[in-house]
């Protein structure tokens, strides 16, 4: 809830303050030439518009508590920021040569939370777009697969696919590293679910 509220407050302030947005946004040119690496983090606390912040915070509201209950608040916050940085780092590497590239939003962190949470409850049913029931792990695999395709093809649709991919990969890597039994159980559960008989 603290992350949700902080995101919302900073975003709303930035909506009214273009200068603040310019100071916080992920900007390849400023990062490369002026070494303003703080933008890797600050860009995740501002959003492009009301729909952008609503969707990100809605995802955090529904998926965050599930993971936090599993691992505790301290570990949850650590994974959130690690995934945030993973998303920003992947974006930086993916767009390093594009000095005009700019991005904002918490999507990288939230993608990581989604990926990590799906390993703790791979077969739990979630409603994609609130209507389509799907196993949590399948939704995550499809989401990551789409991010890989879109990032590889440099899809310019206003969505930070590289951040989504980097955050999700970081989330999976951290669960495998810190909670290896959870990752093994998730694998076993999925194999059992798809194995006939």
Active site residues: 107, 164
Q: Classify each residue of 28-65 as buried b or exposed e, where b means 16 or more C-beta atoms within 10 Å of its C-beta.
A: bebbeeeeeeebbebbbbbbbeeebbeebbebbeebbe
Q: Which letter does DSSP use for residue 49 in this model?
A: S
Judge contact between 120 and 76, C-beta under 8 A.
no
User: Which residue in 13, 16, 29 sits closest to 103, CA to CA?
Assistant: 29
């Amino acid at each position: 809830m603290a992350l949700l509220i902080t995101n919302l407050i900073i975003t709303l302030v930035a909506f009214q303050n273009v200068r603040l947005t310019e100071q916080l946004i992920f900007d390849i040119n400023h990062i490369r030439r002026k070494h303003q690496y703080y933008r890797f983090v600050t860009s995740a606390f501002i959003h492009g518009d009301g729909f952008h912040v609503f969707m990100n915070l809605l995802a955090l509201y529904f998926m965050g508590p599930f993971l936090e209950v599993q691992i505790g608040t301290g570990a949850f916050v650590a994974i959130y920021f690690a995934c945030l940085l993973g998303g920003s780092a992947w974006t930086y590497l993916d767009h390093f040569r594009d000095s005009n590239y700019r991005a904002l939003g918490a999507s990288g962190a939230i993608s990581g939370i989604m990926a990590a949470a799906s390993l703790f409850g791979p077969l739990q049913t979630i409603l994609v777009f609130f209507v389509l029931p799907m196993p949590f792990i399948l939704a995550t695999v499809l989401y990551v697969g789409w991010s890989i395709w879109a990032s590889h093809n440099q899809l310019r649709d206003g969505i930070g696919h590289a951040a989504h991919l980097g955050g999700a990969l970081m989330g999976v890597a951290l669960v495998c590293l810190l909670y290896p039994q959870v990752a093994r159980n998730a694998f076993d559960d999925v194999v059992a679910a798809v194995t006939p008989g």
